[in-house]
Structure 1
Amino acid sequence: MFHPSCSPDCWRDAAMDSAEPLKKERQLGLLADDRHDSGLDSMKEEDYALLVKELRDIRLQTPEERAALQHPPAQPWRQQVTEEGDTFLHLAIIHEEKALSMEVIRQAAGDPAFLNFQNNLNQTPLHLAVITDQPEIAEGLLKAGCDPEIRDFRGNTPLHIACEQGSLRGVCVLTQYCQQHHLHSVLQSANYNGHTCLHLASIQGYLAIVECLLSLGADVNAQEPCNGRTALHLAVDLQNSDLVSLLVKYGADVNKVTYQGYSPYQLTWGRESSSIQEQLKHLTTTDLQMLPESEDEESCESESEFTEDELLYDDCVFGGQQLVF
C-alpha cells in the first residue's frame, strides 16, 4: 500500500491536485500517431516532471511493515480517479513508471475490481500496458488476475490492440499468460468493426503474428460479419502474396465466398499480382473462377425483350379520351 508522509486527507488533496495537468483532450484521432491510450504526450514537460516527482515521493511499504500492522490503514490510492476515469495504476502505466506500476499491481493482486477498472474510454490497465508496449507490466497484470477479455470503446481486447500495432512481444505475453478459456474466447471474438485478431494482423501484414495466432487455434476462415470476407479475401485485396501463401498453408478455404458470392480467386481479376492468381487458380473450383453476372447485365437482358415501338400499356386515358399512339 502507499503510505504518505502527511495525513491521509492531505495526501488525497495532493493526489487530486497532481491529476489536474492530465485534464487534456483525450480523443484518439487527435493524437499524432493515433495511439489508443489518449493520455500519452498530453502533458507539458514541466507538468510531467512534477507528477513524476510526486509519484516518487510516495513511500511504498514493505511486506514486513504491513505484517507489523494489526489494522491495515485505508488505501486512498485505490479510490482516486481522475476526470478521465484513470486510476493511480492507469496513470503509472501511461507515464511508464515501471517500478511504481509493478508495486501497485503486487499490492492489488486479488482485487479484480481495481485491476480491471475501466476509464472513460473503457480501457483497463492491461489495455494501456499493451498500448505503451510494456510487456512486463502486461505479464504482471495477467498473473495478478486481470481479465484479458474486457473490451475498450472500440470493442478491442488488449490482444486486438497488440495485433493491430504489430507488437509480437505483446501478443506472446498475452497468449502465454492467458488462461486457456480466455485465450479461445479472445481469438474468436470480433471488435465493433467486425474484425478478429487475425483480421487485424492480416490487414497490417504482420506475418509473424498471423502465424502465431493460427498456431494457437485462431479460425483461419472466420468471416467479417459485414461482408463475409475471410483473412484470405483480405490478403487478396491487399495483394500480399506472402500472406496468401501463409494462409493457404494453414488451411484457408479458397472456395469460401463473401456474402456477395465472391471467392478469393474472383477478387484477383483486374489486379496486378499474377502470382496470387496463379496460387489460387488450381485450388479453386471451376464455378468460382469466373466472375458472377452483375445485376446490371441481368436488367439489360430483361429490357432487350421489348423493342422501341412496343409499349407496356395501350389503354391510357386522358380527359376521358383514350390516347391513340
Structure 2
Amino acid sequence: MIDLSKNTDFLNTQNDQRQTPLHLAVITNQADVCQRLLVSGCDPTLVDDSGDTPLHIACRHGNLLCFSVLTQNCQTEHLHTVMAACNYHGQNCLHLASVQGFLSLVENMVDLGADINSKEQRNGRSALHLAVDQQNLSLVKLLLKKGADPNLLTSGGHTPFHLTYGRDGDDIRKELYSLTHPDLRELPDSEEDDSEAEDDESDEEVRVENA
C-alpha cells in the first residue's frame, strides 16, 4: 500500500485525531514503517489534534529509533521547522524530551541545531528550567555543557537558579550558583531590603564554598 501510494496525498490522510500514518508508525514504534513512509513522501510537518508532529511524539516517548529515522530522512528545512515548532501546549521537541529526561534525545537535537534556549510559549521556561523543575542533575549538566543560558528568565522573571529554592538537595543549586549573575540570584518578588539581601548573599557564598 505504501509503495502504491508513493508521493500521493493518500500517505498524508489524517484520522479523526488528525494523525497521519507517520504519527501512527511512531506511536506503535515501527521505525521501519517510518522509513518507508518518509521515503515515499509522507509529510513530517503535519500535526495531530494536540499540535504534535511525529517527531514531537518520538521525543515525548523517548523513541530513539523513530527519532533517528525521522531526523535522518527529513530535509534540513523540514527538520529545523519541526524541531522549532510548538504544539498546542506551547512545547517544542526539546522541551518534551527535557521534561521526560531523555538525555540522548536532548543531546542529539542540540547537535542537529535545535535552539537550546528556546522557551515554552505558556510560561517562558527553557529546557534548563525544565531540567531543574524535574531535579535532573545529569540533564542540567548536559544542557550547561551544550551552552544553555543560566541567566534566561521565564515570563515570571525566574532564572533556573530561582527554581532551586525550596527543593531538597543542593547539587543543582551548587551547579547553577556560580553561573548565575549575582543580580539574578535573589527571587524577583523578594521583600528583603538591600542589606538583608547582601547578608543572605554572603551566607549563600559561604554555604556553597564550604559544601
TM-score (norm 2): 0.89
Higher relative contact order (CA 8 A, sep 6+): 2
Identical residues among aligned pairs (%): 54
Q: Distance in 2 between matches of 1:273 and 1:152?
A: 39
- Give the RMSD, CA atoms, in angstroms: 1.1
Q: Output one character per residue of 1:255-291: Cα deviation in whole Å (capped at 9) or x when no partner.
A: 0000110000111111113111111111110011111
Which amino acid letter does the alignment assign opposite residue 107 of structure 1?
L
Distance in 2, Cα, partners of 1:293 & 1:229: 18
Partner of 1:180: 76
Runs of 4+ in 1 over 6 A off after TM superposition: none
Contact 1:190 1:196 in 2 (8 A): yes
Give 1:170's aligned amino acid.
Answer: C
Query: Paired residue for 1:205?
Result: 101
CA distance, structure 2, for counterparts of residue 226 and residue 119 of structure 1: 28
CA distance in 2, matches of 1:234, 1:167: 20
Aligned length in residues: 192
Alpha-carbon distance between aligned partners in 1 of 2:95 and 2:89, rounded to the nearest angstrom: 11
> How far apart, CA to CA, are the structure 2 residues paired with 1:205 and 1:289?
25
Larger-gyration structure (1/2): 1
Superposed CA deviations along residues 163-200 of structure 1, whole A, max 9, x for unmatched, are 00110001000000111110010010000000100000
1:244 maps to 2:140? yes
SS at match of 1:105: coil
What is aligned with 1:108? 5
CA distance in 1, matches of 2:14, 2:90: 22
**Amino acid in the other structure paired with 1:154:** S
Show CA shifts across 1:183-238 (max 9, x none): 01001000000010000000011111111111111111010111100010011111
TM-score if structure 1 supplies the norm length?
0.58
Instruction: Provide the secondary structure at the position in 2 that maps to 1:106.
Output: coil
Gaps of 5+ in 1: 1-103, 299-325
Give 1:165's aligned residue.
61
In the alignment, what sits opposite 1:263? Answer: 159
